[in-house]
Amino acid sequence: MKLIKTIDEMRSFRKVTRQSGKRLGLVPTMGALHEGHLSLVRAAREKSDLVAVSIFVNPTQFGPHEDFSKYPRNLEKDSALLEQEQVDAIFAPSVNDMYPAGAVTWVTVEGMSDRLCGKSRLGHFRGVTTVVSKLFHIIEPDVAFFGQKDAAQAAIIRRMVGDLNMPVSIEICSIIRESDGLALSSRNAYLNPEERKSALILQRSLRRAQSSFEGGERNPAKLIAVGKQEFGYDPKARLDYFEIVDPDSLEPVTTISNRALIAVAAFIGDTRLIDNIIVDPNR
């Protein structure tokens, strides 16, 4: 496994591998790896000849009062996990390398980047699409793997790739959960024991809405109201949003006649968590 820390070295690695004709799968991460990330690595291994994982805590997707400075970083531990998964290369660049001094160019998916998490995290998705675009240009993967937990991010990246004719396929992999249903997240490490219990409210709210949907309810407003009820029972949980949208456009839906994304975000103490499910009346 190669640990690559500069853009020039990454491009040299890719030039050699491209000449070999091998299919390269990329798993973009910010490190602090958990089983959710590793499930993406395993999917990449199944569908690619070579697997690269990027580890880069991207400053441009954090707001001024968010957790960039305290976001967990442990390259040594992450590297050990990835070596066990037989990853071929880790790309762990510096901020200065990824964002040269004076850089003023951004990649923005208009009309989608201000939806769901983009409403309360202004500029977040602009930072995501900019850094993912950079990673795609530097690493030149044939296929990239993202998790369904970040459903809005996945939809926005797919749109970016299509709009800009990028020669990379996007694979979205299932949410990995703890045994009690909590979606795995690097930010779960911030939770104290009481907050960890309260964090289950996200999954409970989704299940409430899903149960109502399975009972025949197709009115999004009524399903949203059902899901939001759960947040009245725990003062440690503060709802950011509970929405039902088209999973591709992120547009709100007026009735559920096709696949729909039910998405929730909430603060548990100071920690912001997200979760979602897909419902489909035609299944």
Q: Which of 34, 37, 65, 137 is catalytic?
A: 37
Residue whose C-alpha is closest to residue 199's, from 117, 267, 148, 116: 267
In a 10 Å sphere around its CB, with 0-12 CB exposed, 13-18 middle and 19+ buried, how is residue 197 labelled?
A: middle
Rounded to whole angstroms, what are the CA distances from 217 to 224, 228, 263, 275? 11, 16, 17, 21
Mark whether 34 is an active-site residue.
Answer: no
CB 26 within 8 A of CB 52: yes
Tokens coding 64: 């001024």
How far, rounded to the nearest angstrom, does the alpha carbon of residue 208 sit from its chain's CA centroid? 24
**Tally of CA atoms within 13 A in the half-sphere of 226 that contains its CB:** 20
What is the rounded CA–CA span in Å between residue 72 and residue 55?
Answer: 12
All residues at 6 or more sequence positions from 216 whose CB lies less than 8 Å from its CB, including other chains: none
Task: Print burial letters for 32-63: b (CB count within 10 Å at least 16), e (below 16).
Answer: bbbebbbbbbbbbbeebebbbbbbbbbebbbe
Positions marked active-site: 37
